């Protein structure tokens, strides 16, 4: 009976440890953004509506997508792979244009997928369509100031 209690305690502790580590956000993920998070992490257009002021400390890539969009589904694994490759240098976000319509309108994301490459300093660059991985990686390197 004591062994059962011991086994149960060990099982519960490992379960708690696994749950808490799964909740932490490590690099290498594509993070879904809503408007509130966008205003804090990327650009507060309600406060700074005339001049672009990036709120982040690292460059970011934003994928404007929709669940029903075939080309969006095609680039999703590429975005995940790039997020893993550049996890220490670039933050990768996703914005669902059906949920966050205001953000889609503000950034002109009428054709999707639309990828926004945002350097820490400078002007964001947008690309529309299912870009190949090499093209996205080239743009990320430019954003980071690295030569291809």
Between β-strands 114-118 and 60-65, what pairing exists: parallel, antiparallel or unpaired? antiparallel
Between β-strands 91-96 and 30-32, what pairing exists: parallel, antiparallel or unpaired? parallel
Token output for 140: 């990320």
| Cβ-based burial of 100 (10 A; exposed 0-12, middle 13-18, buried ≥19) | buried
| Cβ-based burial of 111 (10 A; exposed 0-12, middle 13-18, buried ≥19) | exposed
Annotation says 69 is catalytic: yes
User: In 10 A of CB 95, how many CB atoms?
Assistant: 25
- Name which of 146, 99, 96, 104 is nearest 126 in CA terms: 104
Active-site residue, from 62, 72, 83, 109: 72
Which residue is it, tokens 């690292």?
58
Active-site residue, from 69, 83, 131, 143: 69
Residues designated catalytic:
69, 72
């Amino acid at each position: 009976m004591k062994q059962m209690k011991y086994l149960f305690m060990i099982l519960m502790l490992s379960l708690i440890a696994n749950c808490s580590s799964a909740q932490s956000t490590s690099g290498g993920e594509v993070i879904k953004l809503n408007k509130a998070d966008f205003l804090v992490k990327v650009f507060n257009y309600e406060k700074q509506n005339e001049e672009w002021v990036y709120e982040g400390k690292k460059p970011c890539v934003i994928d404007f997508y929709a669940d029903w969009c075939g080309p969006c589904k095609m680039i999703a694994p590429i975005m995940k792979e790039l997020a893993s490759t550049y996890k220490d240098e670039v933050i990768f976000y996703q914005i669902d244009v059906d949920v966050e319509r205001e953000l889609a309108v503000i950034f002109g994301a009428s054709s999707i997928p639309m990828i926004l490459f945002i350097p820490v300093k400078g002007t964001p660059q947008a690309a529309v369509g299912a870009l190949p991985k090499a093209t996205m990686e080239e743009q990320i390197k430019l954003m980071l100031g690295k030569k291809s």
